[in-house]
Amino acid sequence: MQIPCIKRNAIGAVNACNAALNTHIVSFETTVKAMGEICRDMRCKFKETALGGLAVCMPCC
């Protein structure tokens, strides 16, 4: 479960950085700060550690 999460988060980070750099409306620093605030507000079970969602619903192989 971690690999898809890592790829999705990396793509999201790249998209956020590209949006910030291409439009010049939001600075890179502001984008990183906002992402950090969202991360701190997010419950642990929904972070990359995969303590919730499909990681706990799927049977062990």
Encode pLDDT of 6-44 as tens digits: 778 888 888 888 877 776 677 788 888 988 898 888 777
Distances (CA, A) of 39 to 1, 12, 19, 43, 44: 18, 13, 19, 8, 9
Q: Does residue 52 carry a pLDDT above 80?
A: no
Q: Does residue 57 carry a pLDDT above 80?
A: no
What's the pTM? 0.40
- What mean pLDDT is predicted for residues 49-58? 66
Distances (CA, A) of 46 to 16, 17, 20: 20, 22, 25
pLDDT of res. 53: 65
Would you give the end-to-end CA distance of the chain in angstroms?
A: 13
| For the chain, domain boundaries | 2-50
State phi, psi for 14 to the nearest 5 degrees.
-65, -45
